[in-house]
Amino acid sequence: MNSRREFLKTSGIFCAGVLVAPKLFASMADKQYIGLQLYTVRDYMQKDAAATLAKVAEIGYTSVEGTYAAGKFNTVAPAEFKKLLKQNGLIMPSCHYRLGEEKIDGKTPVGTILSGWQQAVDDAAALGQKYMVCAYLSEPERGNLDRYKKIADDFNKAAEVCKKAGIQFCYHNHDFEFVQQDGKYPYEILLANTDKDLVKMEMDLFWITKANQDPIALINAHPGRFPLWHMKDMDKTSDRMFTEVGNGIIDFKKILTHSSTAGLKYFFVEEDKCPGDPYDSIKMSYTYIKKNLVRG
Quote the pLDDT of residue 17: 42
Instruction: Assess whether pLDDT exceeds 90 at residue 182.
Output: yes
**Nearest CA among 19, 34, 29, 27 for reference residue 89:** 34
Structure confidence at residue 33 (pLDDT): 84
Name the band, by pLDDT with cuts 50, 70 and 90, for residue 295. low
Q: What is the CATH number of the domain that holds 206?
A: 3.20.20.150
For residue 128, is pLDDT > 80? yes
Residue 16, pLDDT score = 37
Predicted pLDDT of residue 1: 43
pLDDT digits (tens, 9 = 90+) for 20-43: 544 444 333 334 689 999 999 999
Quote the number of domains for the chain.
Answer: 1
Residue ranges making up the domain that contains 179: 2-295
Non-local CB neighbours of 58 within 8 Å, separated by 6+ positions: none
Q: What is the pLDDT of residue 64?
A: 98
The per-residue pLDDT for range 243-282, each reduced to its tens digit, is 999 999 999 999 999 999 999 999 999 999 999 999 999 9
Mean pLDDT of the chain: 91
- Phi and psi, residue 152, nearest 5°: -60, -40
- Note the pLDDT of residue 104: 84
Spell out the residues 6+ positions from residue 81 whose beta carbon is closer than 8 angstroms to its own: 49, 66, 72, 73, 74, 92, 127
